[in-house]
Amino acid sequence: AFVEHEAKAEDNPRFNEINYKELREFAFVGRSNVGKSSLINCILGQKLMDANKRPGKTKQLHYVNLPYSNCYLVDCPGYGFARVDLKEKESWGKLMQNYIFHSKSLRRMMILIDAKVGFGAMDKMLCDLLDQKEVPYIFVLTKCDKINETRLKKSILKLKKHPLSSSASPVIFMTSSLNFYGVNELAAYISYIVSM
Ligand code: GDP
């Protein structure tokens, strides 16, 4: 509940100032169908993203403001879906390159990787772009409920073969939106970064 002061907030220019240096963005990216919408919904504790959309359909960046903060979760379009043609792949590349190179507020990028599918060529391309701009990124394995521990360990080993640049976090999160495995840890990590 709140009451409104006589002088309305929107009349005060200081409330309308946008300080781009202080805005913080945490982007989520990964192959189409990796489970990105499901994971974002899990983290936020509410269904904001449509998890039932056709794979490869999202072509824009979706910004979700974290309540009472200057932070945004940014849902990036998925990549590498088989049905998506070359033109669409190119436009995805341009969009992401533009975003990574020109956003003043991008603080972290979470690269989602399906635990069963593993690290692929498009993931590598994305890491290279982030390395060039020195944007810190973190690997998040999704759908960990779908594989047993042995296969999960193999997925992690494969991921660890990707040489760590100074931009890559040594921490790899393991998650499942189905049974909420690792979701609290990831949400806590984001809260920690938000409060820094
Ligand atoms: P997006 O295209 O990356 O946004 O992926 P979605 O969140 O839409 O998920 C794609 C499909 O994977 C849907 O059928 C989801 O129900 C399913 N899915 C998402 N997360 C999980 C998970 O953690 N475990 C399992 N078993 N399935 C999942």
8-state DSSP, 166: T
Structure tokens at 162: 């990707």
CB-neighbour burial class of residue 89 (10 A; exposed 0-12, middle 13-18, buried 19+): middle
Instruction: Tell me the sheet residues that pair with 138.
Output: 110
pLDDT of residue 56: 47
CA-CA distance, 62 to 126, in Å (whole number)?
Answer: 18
Would the pLDDT of 85 be above 80? no
Which one of 29, 32, 33 would you pick to mutate in the ligand 1 pocket, going by the greatest count of ligand atoms within 8 A of its CB?
A: 33
Closest atom of ligand 1 relative to the 33 alpha carbon: 2
CA separation for the pair 162, 146 (Å, rounded): 23
**Residue identifier of the C-alpha nearest atom 5 of ligand 1:** 35
> Is it true that domain 9-195 has CATH number 3.40.50.720?
no
Asked if the interface predicted TM-score (ipTM) of this complex is over 0.95, the answer is yes
Q: Please answer whether residues 94 and 125 qualify as being in contact, where contact means their C-beta atoms are separated by less than 8 angstroms.
A: no
Residue 10: HSE in the Cβ half-sphere, 13 Å Cα cutoff: 0
Distance (angstroms) between ligand 1 centre and the Cα of 131 equals 28
In the block, tokens 């979470």 appear at 110
**Residue ranges per domain, the chain?**
9-195
Q: What is the pLDDT of residues 102-123, one digit of tens each?
A: 998 999 999 999 999 988 888 8
- 113 CA distance to ligand 1 middle (Å): 12
What is the structure's pLDDT at 2?
55
35-74 burial string, b = 16+ CB within 10 Å, else e?
bbbbbbbbbeeeeebeeeeeebebeebbebebeeeebbbb
| Cα(169)–Cα(159) distance, integer angstroms | 12
CA of 55 to the centre of ligand 1 (A): 10
Mutate to test the pocket of ligand 1, among 74, 145, 177 (most ligand atoms within 8 A of CB): 177
CB-based contacts of 87: which residues, under 8 Å, 6+ apart?
none
Query: Are 79 and 85 contacting, i.e. CB atoms less than 8 angstroms apart?
Result: no
| pLDDT tens per residue across span 139-184 | 999 999 999 999 998 888 888 877 677 778 878 999 999 999 999 9
